Structure 1
Amino acid sequence: MSSCSASQNKIKQRLNYLKTANNKAFNYKIGLEKESLRVDKNGFLSNKAHPDALGQSFTNSFITTDFCESQLELITPPLHNIDKSLQFLTDLHSFVYKNITKEQEILWASSMPCIIADEEHIPIATYGKSNQGMMKHIYRQGLALRYGKLMQTITGVHINFSFSDIFWQELSRLENSNQNIQDFITSNYMSGIRNMQKMGWLIPYLFGSSPAICKSFLQGAPTKLKILDDSTYYHPYATSLRMGDIGYQNNIESKNGFKANYDNLAKYIQGLQQAINTRCQKYNDLSIIKNNKYQQLNSNILQIENEYYSTVRPKQICELNQSPNLALKENGILYVELRSSDVDLFSPIGVNRNQLYFVVLWIYYCTLKHSNNLSAQQKKEIDENEIKVAHFGRSPNLMLQKNGKKINLKDWGLSICKEMESLAKLLDSHQNSNSFRASLKMQINKFKDQKFTPSARVLKNLSSQSFHRFASHKSQQYVKYFKGKEINEEHENMIIKEVSKSIKSFDAEQKKTEPDFKIFIDDYYKKNIC
């Protein structure tokens, strides 16, 4: 039996099983992480410190910073409902806008950065003088040293997803699995991740919103992109330049032969750990310490696990000073993090309802579908398909690679959607709605006609204006949107409470007596050997 037939049989079998499952098996949790650059009224990157009114970025679980001090990351708690997650993210935006507009600042509405006059002056995020805070800051300095600061200012939306415990228990029972439940959960998540990679090109095609960039992003570097106007570079068929070869890539890791292994969790952990422990001569030549100051955590292929670029990650909650690898090794996979979504220029919060319903449906589909381990050929195809769709995804009759054979993007996309129809119907039946089927229909229309994709809509707007002007207009438009938006009282109280708590926690951290940072970081690596 072919792997394709096995996959189709597996998902049909599992869907038949789940039709008899406990209704609570279809509960899930979803969390959102949305990154945004703070900019001034002219669309230039802000050089101001993280606003006090938003609390301390180091200790605030809802509002923090990513690489850059002016790069906000808004995080919803994991919730059981897509609409509730969207509402919480909306309220986080409302709270932020209410506080940053006092400083004459707004949030940039695009994944690709605003006007950046000088890369050198992009402010790296700071987190205080505690050892943990210094580790976060030095890690970011290392990213700047290794890859440059510009790459790190690209923003996106990360979607965290977990199935309910009852879902796994029911599936394990129905399949008469002899694995213990956590091993069953972990192996099925890894199988799902492999499918999410094989079909990962689908996300930038359907939801990519970055077919053009501001000229300032290139800082005079040579490019294969085309000139649209005096300040805009683009590709006519691009979907997501963020996910293309101008985005954040681990080029050194690839040249050193390192590629994460997704056959099982043990091999995944082993591969990352080896990269964290293996010295890279290029990074060693840059020096760990310069002028008595750390400029990177180490000179190895990876400083820590998070440096490895991937479109989807297996995740587990880390305890204090515990590495992601050790958390996964000790407790298995708790949820998956999808990292390939652009910020949606046409949504005030960077993500929309139909998108999330489709992504949840797709994660169900990828997890329920049979997946063998990835061959060397498939790994190569995954990378090539991702780059090809990012730069040329809307090209007529674009051909991708699938199991050593060429396949038309449109045909492949429509066949995936066709396979998801019965699953969408099942999920809708358990929540008495039509949301999954309606979202699926919208994506089918995008495969039938690429003009419905966000990237095509962006380029249509750029026919009469520059990228910067269009993104500035959308950013200003959303200021007005949130100005008239009432914030949910319960959510506002939660956010205000978290701001206050973050300040107290941060102050307490700064007062602690701690060992020298070298002792701390050496101890961290020793404790987290896997």
Structure 2
Amino acid sequence: MNSLSDTLAVLATRDNAKALTRLSRGVEREALRVGDDGQLAQDAHPHGLGSALTHPWITTDYSEALLEFITPVSDSVNELMDRLGDIHKYTLETLQHQWLWPLSMPCMVSDPKDIKIAQYGSSHGGRMKTLYREGLTHRYGAPMQIISGVHFNFSISSELWQALHQHSGSELSLDEYRSQGYFGLIRNYRRWVWVLPYLFGASPALCRSFLGDKKPNLPFETLPPGTLYLPYATSLRMSDLGYTNKEQENLGISYNGLNQYLTSVNRAIRQPSEEFAKIGVKVDGEYRQLNDNVLQIENELYAPIRPKRVAQAGETPSQALARAGVEYIEVRALDVNPFSPMGIRPDQIRVLDLLLLTALMTPSADISSEEEAEIQANLQAVILRGRQPGLQLTKNGESVSLRNWLAELFDQFALVAEWLDGFNPATPYADALATWRISVDEPESTLSGRLLSELKGSGSSQSEWAMKLAKGYHQCLSEYSYRHWHQPDFEGAAASSHQAQSEREAADTGSFDDFLSDYFDKALAKV
């Protein structure tokens, strides 16, 4: 494969060079609803927000209180943020005396039983979604499931794929080359994924209530009252305390190509779990989980990045990929940014663009088992000790300082920024890079560094500090003007979604047991 600089030089000279820079993106932001006391909301998903099963932009994740906002795909960063802002504004106008929790780690939870599992109605598909969450509760406990994050969906234009295909001289078909290219991106992303918790990790602390009766297995320090933190941590959300799954450590998911990936996922969804078998599947006539495999369904595979394709009716994610290859990728390693009302800022999106394009255009060898161990060790080191002075990581079997490696990556990102900004009278990518380059030498300017500094300076618990932010953002968004949608658009979407849910419920035939059996017969068919 050609070098990054050679590839960029060729792309810059093409007749349709500007068209090559078009990128498509979507954001999924999760946020807990909380009451005035900072406690988790106990009411059902508000009717005015529509059906969580069928609404295109507003749904729930694990809990009735865990909202998820989904933007349409856009090739404009400004439009993407405007649509995310519109969703936030309408939601807050609909909520009654409730706020959106601005952190990834949950608010104060007095009792895990207070975490209400999301409900999706009486249709077979809706019941299956709720049952899947019941299984997550029995497997991992409810508190872990209400950790919030931001997912970033990303794809490049067909024009750029054609240009890269031609430049590579590959004999693969364009569709085959596209899938190969996205898996190359994924492998480089996994090598560099530690960059995201370092820069954008924003969960170095948590409320003591999150651990319940468990004794911490990390050397936490305490901030009064009731806040635990690690001095150099970046993202406890991504640690063993957070959104991880020890049962999955030995699944051996391969990202060395589409076929290898599909084969390893296909194997994983069939792998039984002795631990989960102890829970039981249907006990005394009541389901506890969908099945007792390591993964109930593919969505349970916890990964910081996923290859994706929009599935057709009845398809699993793997079956969609097997049918037509990779369409886009989903980045899942982002904490909620507490310093933004929308949980993410435009400059973060531009840095993500740069990292992902650099990963795409940089040669990307297969990942060996030795390198896989290296990748995991680097990520864990940055999650727990990312801002530690002089922190060393491992690159190609050799020790390298985080600072030097990050500086090298920023130099590569700058080449891509120059290419993207070359077609823009402004310099948004260079500006975004400059904003975050400061963090290479100043770890305290990262999100986790800023959060701990402000938290210590406030003299408050993390919950009290976060509630002040939540109420400030509520005021900010109440003054926000709709940019693309307006209130009638959201009211219409809510009404349509309720109607769509009713139609699904009316259309169902047969028993739920038969529905599940049929689903897994198809889902477990080899792809």
| TM superposition score normalised by structure 1 | 0.96
Shift of residue 306 of structure 1? 1.0
Q: Do residues 374 (structure 1) and 367 (structure 2) align?
A: yes
Shift of residue 492 of structure 1? 4.1
What is aligned with 2:47? 52
Summarize deviations over 1:415-437 as a string: whole Å, max 9, x none.
10012212110001123321111
What is aligned with 1:3? none
Contact kept, 8 Å, 1:60 with 1:498, in 2: the verdict is yes
> Aligned equivalents of 1:236 and 1:96: distance in 2?
35
What is aligned with 2:406? 413
Q: Do residues 338 (structure 1) and 331 (structure 2) align?
A: yes
- Which residue identity lines up with residue 25 of structure 2 in the other structure? I
Contact kept, 8 Å, 1:250 with 1:309, in 2: the verdict is yes
Contact kept, 8 Å, 1:37 with 1:71, in 2: the verdict is yes
Which of 450, 466, 486 is the matching residue for 2:481?
A: 486
> Aligned equivalents of 1:384 and 1:235: distance in 2?
18
> Aligned equivalents of 1:445 and 1:144: distance in 2?
41
Summarize deviations over 1:219-260 as a string: whole Å, max 9, x none.
131112222223100001111111112112120122xx2121
> How do residues 436-455 of structure 1 correspond to structure 2 at under 5 angstroms?
436-455=429-448
Q: How many residues align?
A: 519
Summarize deviations over 1:428-478 as a string: whole Å, max 9, x none.
112332111111112211011112111111111111221111111101111
Call closer, same or farther: CA 1:271–1:428 in 2, change over 3 Å: same
> How do residues 249-268 of structure 1 correspond to structure 2 at under 5 angstroms?
249-254=244-249, 257-268=250-261
> Aligned equivalents of 2:103 and 2:232: distance in 1?
18
Q: Do residues 148 (structure 1) and 136 (structure 2) align?
A: no
Contact kept, 8 Å, 1:124 with 1:140, in 2: the verdict is yes
Which of 456, 459, 462 is the matching residue for 2:452?
A: 459
- Which residue identity lines up with residue 477 of structure 1 in the other structure? G
Summarize deviations over 1:304-343 as a string: whole Å, max 9, x none.
1110111010000011221001001101111000011110
Shift of residue 154 of structure 1? 0.4
Contact kept, 8 Å, 1:243 with 1:386, in 2: the verdict is no
What is aligned with 2:68? 73
Which of 347, 354, 377 is the matching residue for 1:361?
A: 354
Of the structure 1 ranges 128-137 and 482-491, higher mean CA displacement relative to structure 2 is found in 482-491
> Aligned equivalents of 2:369 and 2:142: distance in 1?
32
Which of 340, 343, 354 is the matching residue for 1:350?
A: 343
Of the structure 1 ranges 379-388 and 231-240, higher mean CA displacement relative to structure 2 is found in 379-388
> Aligned equivalents of 1:380 and 1:422: distance in 2?
30
What is aligned with 2:206? 213
Which of 386, 394, 404 is the matching residue for 1:393?
A: 386
> How do residues 50-449 of structure 1 correspond to structure 2 at under 5 angstroms?
50-100=45-95, 103-223=96-216, 224=218, 225-254=220-249, 257-449=250-442
Contact kept, 8 Å, 1:17 with 1:171, in 2: the verdict is no
Contact kept, 8 Å, 1:244 with 1:386, in 2: the verdict is no
Of the structure 1 ranges 147-156 and 244-253, higher mean CA displacement relative to structure 2 is found in 244-253
SS in 1 for 2:153: strand
> Aligned equivalents of 1:379 and 1:491: distance in 2?
47
SS in 2 for 1:430: coil
Contact kept, 8 Å, 2:102 with 2:343, in 1: the verdict is yes
Shift of residue 491 of structure 1? 4.9
| TM superposition score normalised by structure 2 | 0.96
Which of 454, 475, 491 is the matching residue for 1:496?
A: 491
Call closer, same or farther: CA 1:165–1:491 in 2, change over 3 Å: farther
> Aligned equivalents of 1:74 and 1:87: distance in 2?
13
SS in 1 for 2:422: helix
Which of 1, 4, 29 is the matching residue for 1:11?
A: 4
Contact kept, 8 Å, 2:124 with 2:505, in 1: the verdict is no
Of the structure 1 ranges 276-285 and 494-503, higher mean CA displacement relative to structure 2 is found in 494-503
Summarize deviations over 1:348-382 as a string: whole Å, max 9, x none.
00000111111011110001111101111111111
Shift of residue 493 of structure 1? 4.3
Summarize deviations over 1:42-85 as a string: whole Å, max 9, x none.
11001110000000000001000001111000000000111110
RMSD value, Cα: 1.2
What is aligned with 1:28? 23
Contact kept, 8 Å, 1:377 with 1:403, in 2: the verdict is no
Shift of residue 397 of structure 1? 0.3
SS in 1 for 2:154: strand
Contact kept, 8 Å, 1:315 with 1:335, in 2: the verdict is yes
Call closer, same or farther: CA 1:434–1:489 in 2, change over 3 Å: closer
Q: Which of structure 1's runs of 4+ aligned residues deviate more than 6 A?
A: none
> Aligned equivalents of 1:431 and 1:273: distance in 2?
44
Unaligned runs of 5+ in 1: 1-5
Q: Percent identity?
A: 33
Q: Do residues 474 (structure 1) and 463 (structure 2) align?
A: no
SS in 1 for 2:426: coil
Contact kept, 8 Å, 1:355 with 1:439, in 2: the verdict is yes
> Aligned equivalents of 2:104 and 2:307: distance in 1?
24
Of the structure 1 ranges 12-21 and 500-509, higher mean CA displacement relative to structure 2 is found in 12-21
> Aligned equivalents of 1:493 and 1:437: distance in 2?
38
- Which residue identity lines up with residue 32 of structure 1 in the other structure? V
Shift of residue 266 of structure 1? 1.2
Contact kept, 8 Å, 2:82 with 2:484, in 1: the verdict is no
SS in 1 for 2:130: helix
- Which residue identity lines up with residue 452 of structure 1 in the other structure? S
Call closer, same or farther: CA 1:87–1:525 in 2, change over 3 Å: same
> Aligned equivalents of 1:501 and 1:426: distance in 2?
43
